[in-house]
Amino acid sequence: MPNERLRDALLRNGLTLEQVAKAVGVDQKTVERWITKNRTPYPKHRHKIAAMARESETYLWPDSVAPERKAETAAAELVQVFPHRNAVPVELWDRLIKEASETVEILVHAALFLVERPRFIKDLTAKAAAGTRIRLAFGDPEGDSVALRGEEEQLGDGTLAARIRNALASYRPLVGVDGAEMRFHNTTLYNSIFRFDDEMIINTHVYGFQGAHAPSLHLRRLSAGDLFETYSESFESVWNLAKPATF
């Protein structure tokens, strides 16, 4: 089976087989076999290709890293654990938002706390204009999952849906902005995901607790790591099931 992840990553970054072959010092036919026959490159080649393709080794070659090394790297990807989301320092949010230049991906129900930041929407608009890919997935206010989550958090009938609609009013300036896309999801939200390039804040969800009072993880992506990639793939799965947001 061909390595479609590698093929897609190279195409996405405008990399030809010739360019990759020259960069890693192999024959062009070797690079072609890495794709068409799903051959696994040597570690020194994987490192360089992953950097060129802006993907992790574990994403491009899921079986190439030993389980023991994956476990060790996952521990290194975990920068800090916060007992509650509202314990994440304001300075950390500010830095992540400010420094993101390639990817901003957010999977939430409403995340009203983000739009309480005076410049958040303006910053996203400016980043989209500069070429940053912005993807925002909100809970569908008409969906069953939002209604169930509202019950589980003991918020009262329709409260979470109302929060989402309030948040969407703030995000309206992003409608029609090139590079920014918003969707509604109707999936069980096990975690809220806030990705800014190669760093993430993962807000875990705990039955009976509101998101602000549930633990949060600060992750930094490593090439051979599996933890960051797990959440990234989870976002992608939800995104593919989601529908365009309506305002």
Is there a single domain that holds both residue 58 and residue 136? no
Is there a single domain that holds both residue 28 and residue 134? no
Whether 199 contacts 96, CB under 8 Å: yes
Whether 31 contacts 22, CB under 8 Å: no
Closest of 23, 32, 30 to residue 3, by C-alpha: 32
pLDDT at 116: 87
Is there a single domain that holds both residue 20 and residue 100? no
CA distance 200 to 18: 34
Is there a single domain that holds both residue 86 and residue 46? no
3-state secondary structure of 56: coil
Is there a single domain that holds both residue 166 and residue 100? yes
Q: What is the CATH number of the domain that holds 16?
A: 1.10.260.40
Is there a single domain that holds both residue 16 and residue 49? yes
3-state secondary structure of 222: coil
Is there a single domain that holds both residue 87 and residue 187? yes
CA distance 190 to 214: 11
Q: Which domain-ending residue is among 64, 81, 103?
A: 64
Residue range(s) defining the domain that contains residue 169:
73-244
Closest of 194, 177, 197, 166 to residue 125, by C-alpha: 177
pLDDT at 170: 93
Continuous segment of H or E residues that includes residue 163: helix 159-171
Residue reference for tokens 């989550």: 149
pLDDT at 237: 96
Q: How far is CA 116 from CA 125, 148, 160, in A?
A: 16, 25, 17
Closest of 62, 96, 67, 103 to residue 79, by C-alpha: 96
Quote the crossing angle between the two packed helices 17-24 and 28-36, to the nearest 10°: 110
Say which residues have a Cβ less than 8 Å from residue 223's Cβ, sequence separation at least 6.
47, 50, 51, 56, 57
When divided into structural domains, the chain yields a total of 2
Is there a single domain that holds both residue 233 and residue 177? yes
Secondary structure percentages of the chain, helix, strand, coil, to 5:
50, 15, 35
CA distance 61 to 164: 38
Q: What is the CATH number of the domain that holds 144?
A: 3.30.870.10
| Per-residue pLDDT tens over the stretch 154-169 | 777 778 899 899 999 9
Q: Which domain-ending residue is among 35, 64, 93?
A: 64
CA distance 125 to 161: 25
Question: Looking at the whole model, is its pTM more than 0.85?
Answer: no
Q: Which domain-ending residue is among 64, 99, 116?
A: 64
CA distance 206 to 196: 24
Is there a single domain that holds both residue 105 and residue 32? no
Is there a single domain that holds both residue 105 and residue 27? no
Whether 247 contacts 184, CB under 8 Å: no
Is there a single domain that holds both residue 109 and residue 44? no
Cα dihedral 140, 179, 169, 193, rounded to 10, equals 50
CA distance 132 to 125: 9
Closest of 8, 28, 26, 25 to residue 17, by C-alpha: 28
Is there a single domain that holds both residue 137 and residue 210? yes
What parts of the chain have a pLDDT lower than 70?
A: 65-74, 224
